[in-house]
A and B are shown apart, each in its own frame.
Chain A
Amino acid sequence: MATAECRPALARFWANLKAVPALFRASAFRAGSPVSDRSRSSFVFGNVFLHLHSVRVHRWTLRWATTWGLGLITLAAFLIALLTGILLMFYYKPYPAVAYDSIKDIHFVVPTGRFIRNIHRWSANLMVVAVILHMARVFYTASYRRPREFNWVVGMVLLVLTLGLSFTGYLLPWDQLAYWAITIGANIAQSPREVTDALGLTAWFDLGGLQKLLLLGSDEVGEEALIRFYLLHVMILPIALLMLLAVHFWRIRKDGGLARPEDADGRLPAPARRLFPVFTQLPQKTYHLAALVRGRTPAMGPPENTLPSLPHLFYAEAGVLMLSVFICLLLALLSDAPLKELANPAVPENPAKAPWYFLGLQELVSHSAFMGGVGIPALVMIGLGLIPFLDREERGTGDWFGGPGGASLVVRATAFGLGACILLEAFTIRFGWLRQWWPEVPQLAITVANPGTLLALAYAWYSLWVMRRFDSTRAGALALFTCFLCGFVVLTVIGYHFRGPNWDFYWSPSQWPGH
C-alpha cells in the first residue's frame, strides 16, 4: 500500500526537481520573459531595482544631449567605488601604526590590489567631476524648476556627501599627502576662529575650534581622526548617500521623469520605422490608484512619445555604466594612486595642499580663513539651494541654456566670470593685499574686504545687473551660476598648479625652490 502511494509522490518530487530552474525563474521574474511591450513593463515593475525607473520613458529623455548621462556616470562611479572599496576593506587596517603598511601591502602583494586601489581612487575622482557636471547640466537645462525643486536640494546634499566621502577617504593611506591635506582641511574647518578672535569671543564661543575638534576628535590629526574618518568613509557617509540616492531617484519618477520642454513632442523627429512601436499596448498596470493620489504623475496624461524603458533606457544606462567602468579601468592602468612617505607630523609638506576639489577654497582661505573656509562656501550653498525657489519662470525648461539671454548670455557670463577672477587673483599675486600695504590693518577689515569677498560681490553685482537687463530671475541665475563655475575652475587651477611652497605664486612646479 505504501509503495502505491509513494510512487506518484516520488514521481512528483522528481518532476518538481527537474522543474526547479524554471520554477525559480518564474518565482523571481513573475511576469515571464520580456518579449512583448506588456511583459517588458511587467518585468520592470516586478523588479525592485528596475522599478526605480518608470516603466516607460519619454523619447526626449533618451536623447544624448538631454543629460549626457552625467547623473548615471556619477552613480556608476559611486557603485564602482563602493565595490572596490569593499574589496579594499578586506586588507586595509585603520590604525596609524599599520595603516600605511597595509596600503603598501595592497599596492605590492595583494592580488590585483594596486589595480583595485587605482580604480577606487579614479572612480572617486570621476564621481566628484561627474557630480559637478551633473549639477551644471541640471542647472543649464533649468530642470530644477517646479516640481523638481526638492530634488535639486536633495542633489545638493548628495554633492556635499560626495565631497565628504572623497575627503574622508583622503586620510586613510596615512601618508604625508593625506596627513597634511587633512590638516589643511581641519584648519579650514577651524577658520571661524578668525572672526571670533577678531571680536574677542574665542574664549567664550570657539566655533572654529569646536568644528575642528568634532572633525578630528583631537587637536591634531592622529589615531582618533583616522578611526573617525574611517567610520565616516566606510559606513556613515555611504549609507546616508545610498538612502538619499534612493530618494533622489524616486523623486525623478514622482516628479514626472526628466524635465523636458513643453513642446518636446513637436520637436522630436518622427520615430525611426524599425524602432519598437511607440506605446502600442497599454501597460498592464492601471493607474486608478495613482489617480487617487494627488500629484502630477505624467502617466495620467496622454502616453504619446514614450518608449518602454526595457530595452531602450536600460541599453543606454548599461552603456553609460560600462563607459564609466572603462574610463576608471583605463585611468587605473595608466596612473597609480599616489602614496607618499609615511605621515610625519614633524615634517610638514610644503606646500601642503588639500584635495583638488578644495583647492579653490584653500586659495580663498589664503586671503581670509573665515571667508574662504566658511563665509563664501556657505553663501554659495545657500545661493545654490535657493535657485529653484527664486526662479519661478517657465520659459526654457528642459532646453540647454534655456531662458532669457540663453547661450550668448552664458558666453558673456563666462567671459566676465573668468576675467573678474583672473584679474583679481593676478592683482593680489602681483601687488599683495591690505596686510602687505598696511601691516597694522585689523584682521576684521581683511575678513570683510579680501579678494574672495570682492569676487563674490562682483559676481553678485553682475548677476543683478543681468537680472534687471533681461527682466528675468533665470537670466540672473544663469549669470551667477556661470560665474560661480568659472570662479571654481580658476581658483582650483591656481591652487593646483600655480601655488608652491608657502603658497607663493610660481608659473610651474618646476620652479619651486630646492628642486
Chain B
Amino acid sequence: MKRRKHLLLWTSLGTLVLLGWAIYEEHFSQEWRLLQDQYRMRLEPAAARSFAVQLRQIVVPALNTTDRCVSCHVGMAAGETPIEGHPVFGSHPPVAHDPSEFGCTVCHGGQGRATRIADAHGTAPFWPQPMLPRGFAYAGCGSCHTHLAVTNLDQLERGRSLVERFDCLRCHELEGRGGTTRPFQATGPPAPDLSAVGARGFSPGWHDQHLERSRDAADGYWKDSITVLDVGQRRDLETFLRSRAGAPGLVESKALFHSQGCRGCHKVNAVGGDDGPDLSLAGQKDPALLDFSGLPGERSLPEWLREHFRAPAKVVAGSQMPYLGLDDEQIEGLTFYMLSLRRTSFPEAYWPPDRVRAQLLGERDFSADGATLYGTFCAACHGPRGQGMRYPGTSAFPAVANPDFLELASDEFLLTAIRRGRPGRRMPAWGETEGGLTETEILTLASYLRRLGGREPEPDGQPARWVRAEAESGGALYAQNCASCHGVEGQGGEGTALRNPVLLESASDTYLTETIWRGRRGTTMPAFSEASTIHRSLTRPEIESIVAFIRSWETRP
C-alpha cells in the first residue's frame, strides 16, 4: 500500500513539475516574447505602457499568406514604431510594395506561420523554401516579377556608365546612392529618386525640360546640371531608366543570364533548348533534395548554385554542363537570377503587367534585338561574337559568324538551320513548336549573324542541286581527306556532322563545293584548292565527286 501511495505521490509531483515546465516554455521562454520584451524596454514610457506583448501577423488571404514575422520584427508591424538601425526592430527599407499589404514570405521566402527563429527563417529541417539570404533579397521579386522585362546587357552597361559620366547622382538618388545635392536650394525638395523610375514612368520630355531649366538658371547647380545629349545617348539612358523597377540586381542579373546563352540548353517558361534541365523554377529548389556531397561549405541553395556555376560536374556528377570559366561577379549575378526564378501561382488580380503580358499575351520578357536574342540562345555554344567555342571535353561548336561561311550560306540556309536545328546533334530546333522562337525572332537572329560577320551571301546562279559527279571515287577521296575530322560515316567529330538530314537538305551544291574549295579561315577547315603540309590540292571535279558522295547519304539509310 505504501509503495502504491508513493507511486501516486511521486508521479503526481513529477507531472506537476512537467506542467510547470510547459507553462514556462509557453509563456516565458518563447523567442518572440523575449524579443517583444526587449522592444518594449526600448520604447518611450508612454508607448511602452500601451504596447502589448502578443503575437502579431500579416494575413493576406488572396496570397494564402499568414506571416507572423512581425511578431519578432515588431518595428515592421502595422502601427508600431520601428527602432532605426536595430537589426530586428528596424523599419523595412523603402520598397515598392507595402509589406503590410503583401506579407513577408511572398518576397523573402521562409515560413510565415512559424513563430520560432529557425523555423521562421526556414533553416530548420523540412521547410523547402528557406529565406533568401540578405544579399539576394531582391531575387524575391521573382516570385511575381519573373517576367520583368529586361534589355540588352551592353545597353544597360552603357546607360549606367552615362549616369556616372553625366553625374546624374549628384542630385538624383539611385538604389541608395547619390542624391546629396538639392537642385533648387539647400532646403528645397530633393530631386526625384530614380530607383523605381521604370515602374513609375517618367516624362518623355525630361531631356528638354532639364535643358530648359539649365538655360533659365542664373547660377547654382541647375546651371551646369546637364549638357546636350545625342539621340543614342538619350536612348541608352532611357532604356536604363526604364529598367529601374525598384529591384536592384534583378535586372542586371537577368540581363547577364540573357547574354550568356544559357537558354541554348535550358528552357525558361517554355522557351529554350532541351539539353539541360528546365530552369523555370530553379529558385524554388528544396535544398534538402540537393546533393551536397561535393560541397564542403554551407548547405544552402545559393551556395549550391554558386559552386555549380564554378564547376558544374563537381556538384552534379556527370553533368553535361560545360565548365564556363565565369568570374566571381558573373557567378554572383547568375546565382541571383537563378534564385529569382521562383514564379509562384497567385490569383491573376495580383499579377504585375509584365507577367500578364508574358503569360497571357505571349510577349517576351527580354528585348527582341538581335544582340539579346543571340546572347540569350546562341552565345554559349557559338561564342559571344560568333567565333565558335570549345569547352574542355567538348568538340568545337561552329563559328557561325565566320565571314567565309556567311558568304556562302544563303539566308534560307541560315533560317532553316535555326528553325530546324541539327537533329541528333546538340543544336536544337528553334522553330515555334520546338525551341519556342517566333519567325520574326529567327529572322532577327539571322540578320544579326550577318551583322556579326559583316558578310552578305554571294549571288548564286546555279540551282540547288547541280553536281552530276560519280560518288564512288568521291568516297575514296572523302576517306582520305575528310573522314579524319568529319567522321568515316559523316557522323562528325572535330568537324561538323555532315550526315545530317537537315544540313544535306538545305545546303546547296554550291555551298558544299565552295566550302571545300575555299575552306573556312580561322577554323580548322582548310581550303582544298591549295595543297598544304597534310593534304594535296583537289580539283573541282574531285570536289564535286566528294559532294556527290556526301549527297549519297541522303538516300542511303
Interface positions of A (Cβ within 8 A of B): 62, 64, 101, 104-105, 108-109, 111-112, 115, 175-176, 272, 275-276, 311-312, 315-316, 318-320, 322-323, 325-326, 329-330, 333, 339-342, 347, 513-515
Instruction: Report chain B residues within 8 Å CB of A318.
Output: 8
CA distance A342 to B128 in the complex (A): 9
Is there an interface contact between B115 and A109, defined as CB atoms closer than 8 Å? yes
Question: Which residue of B1, B126, B293 contacts A315 across the interface (Cβ within 8 Å)?
Answer: B1
Given contacts A64-B3, A115-B25, A341-B128, 10 further A-B contacts (CB under 8 A): A108-B119, A276-B1, A316-B7, A319-B5, A320-B7, A322-B15, A325-B11, A326-B15, A341-B127, A514-B292
Q: Are B4 and A111 in contact (CB under 8 A)?
A: no
Is the pair A514, B113 in contact by a Cβ cutoff of 8 Å? no
Contact A319 B119 (CB under 8 A): no
Nearest B residue to A318 by beta-carbon distance? Answer: B8
Q: Are B119 and A322 in contact (CB under 8 A)?
A: no
**Cβ contact within 8 Å between A329 and B291:** no
Contact: B26 with A115, CB < 8 Å? yes
Q: Is the CB of B26 within 8 A of A341?
A: no
Which B residue's beta carbon lies closest to that of A101?
B113
Q: Within the assembled complex, what's the spacing in Å between the Cα atoms of A214 and B289?
A: 33
Least CB distance, A242 to chain B, in whole angstroms: 24
A315 to B12, CA, bound (A): 12
A329 pairs with B289, CB closer than 8 A: no
Q: Which among B5, B11, B128, B293 has the highest number of chain A CB atoms within 10 Å? A: B11
14 residue pairs of the A-B complex, CB under 8 angstroms, read A101-B66, A105-B113, A112-B26, A315-B4, A318-B8, A319-B7, A322-B7, A322-B15, A325-B11, A330-B14, A333-B22, A333-B25, A341-B127, A514-B293
How many cross-chain pairs have Cβ atoms below 8 Å apart between A and B?
A: 87
> CA of A381 to CA of B467 in the docked complex: distance in angstroms?
85
CB of A108 within 8 A of CB of B286, answer no
> Which of B1, B55, B66, B289 has the most CB atoms of chain A within a 10 A radius of its CB?
B1
Cα of A176 to Cα of B126 in the assembled complex, Å: 9
Q: Is the CB of B19 within 8 A of A329?
A: yes
Give the CA-CA distance A342 to B12 in the complex, in Å.
Answer: 38
Which residue of A108, A111, A333 has the most chain B CB atoms within 10 A of its CB atom? A108
User: Is B18 positioned at the interface, with any CB of A under 8 Å from its CB?
Assistant: yes
Q: Is B83 an interface residue (CB 8 A)?
A: no
Tell whether, in the assembled complex, residue B26 and residue A111 are in contact, meaning their CB atoms are under 8 Å apart.
yes
Interface flags for B112-130 (1: CB within 8 Å of A; 0: not) read 0111100100000011100
Cross-chain contact A326 with B14 (CB below 8 angstroms): yes
Fill in one digit per residue for B267-293: 1 if any A CB lies within 8 Å of its CB, else 0. Answer: 000000000000000000010110111
Q: Which residue of A lies closest to B119 (CB)?
A: A108
Compute how far the CA of A325 lies from the CA of B14 in the bound complex, rounded to whole angstroms: 10
B21 at the interface (CB under 8 A from A): yes
Known: A104-B113, A108-B116, A341-B126. A323 touches B22 (CB 8 A): no
Q: Does B242 have its Cβ within 8 Å of any Cβ on chain A?
A: no
Distance A101 CA – B61 CA, assembled complex (angstroms):
13
**B244 CB-CB contact with A under 8 Å:** no
Chain A to chain B: the 6 pairs with minimum beta-carbon distance, closest first: A319-B7, A322-B11, A319-B8, A329-B18, A315-B4, A340-B126
In-complex Cβ contact of A329 among B8, B15, B66, B127 (8 A): B15
What residue of chain B has the Cβ atom nearest to residue A329's Cβ? B18
Which residues of B2-44 are within 8 A (CB) of A? 3-5, 7-8, 11-12, 14-15, 18-19, 21-22, 25-26
Q: Tell me if B68 is interfacial: C-beta within 8 Å of chain A.
A: yes
Nearest-neighbor residue (CB-CB) of A62 within chain B: B4
Other-chain residue from A109, A112, A175, A342 in contact with B55 (beta carbon distance below 8 A) = A109
Contacts of A341 in B (CB 8 A): 126-128, 286, 288
Q: In whole angstroms, what is the CA distance A340 to B111 when docked?
A: 13
Q: Which residues of B contact A342 (CB under 8 A)?
A: 128
Given A112-B22, A341-B286: A104 and B293 interface contact (C-beta under 8 Å): no
A322 touching B128, Cβ below 8 Å: no
Whose C-beta in chain B lies nearest to the C-beta of A98?
B64
A270–B206 Cα distance when bound, in Å, is 109
Is A322's CB under 8 angstroms from B12's CB?
A: yes
CB pair A333–B115 under 8 Å, yes or no, is: no
B26 near A514 (CB under 8 angstroms)? no
B54 to chain A minimum Cβ distance, whole angstroms, is 11
Chain A residues with Cβ below 8 Å from B25 are 115, 333
Q: Do residues B8 and A322 form an inter-chain contact, with CB atoms below 8 A?
A: yes
In whole angstroms, how far apart are the Cα atoms of A109 and B8 in the complex?
33
A333 to B20, CA, bound (A): 11
Interchain CB contact under 8 A, A312 and B18 = no
Contact B113 A315 (CB under 8 A): no
B4 touches A316 (CB 8 A): yes
User: For the complex, what is the distance from the CA of A330 to the CA of B15, rounded to whole Å?
Assistant: 8
* Contact indicator B18/A315 (Cβ below 8 Å): no
A312–B215 Cα distance when bound, in Å, is 106
Specify the chain B residue showing the minimal Cβ separation from A315: B4
Contact in complex: A104, B26 (CB < 8 Å): no
Residue of A112, A312, A329 ringed by the most chain B CB atoms within 10 A = A329
Q: How far is the CB of B507 from chain A (nearest CB, A)?
A: 44
Tell me whether B8 and A315 are in contact (CB under 8 A). Answer: yes
Residues from chain B with Cβ under 8 Å of A312 in the complex? 1, 4
Residues of B within 8 A of A316 (CB): 4, 7
Contact A108 B127 (CB under 8 A): no
Q: Which residues of A contact B19 (CB under 8 A)?
A: 329
With A109-B68, A514-B291 in contact, is A326–B119 under 8 Å at CB?
no
| Chain A hits for B111, CB < 8 A | 104
Question: Closest approach, in angstroms, between the C-beta of B301 and any C-beta of chain A?
Answer: 15
- Chain B residues closer than 8 Å to A112, beta-carbon distance: 22, 26
B11 CB contact (under 8 Å) in A175, A326, A333, A515: A326
Docked pose: A272 CA to B3 CA in angstroms: 13
Q: How far is the CA of A114 from the CA of B74 in the complex (A)?
A: 23
CA distance A256 to B19 in the complex (A): 39
**Chain B residues with CB under 8 A of A109:** 55, 68, 113, 115
Cβ contact of B15, chosen from A325, A347, A514, cutoff 8 A: A325
Contacts of B113 in A (CB 8 A): 101, 104-105, 108-109
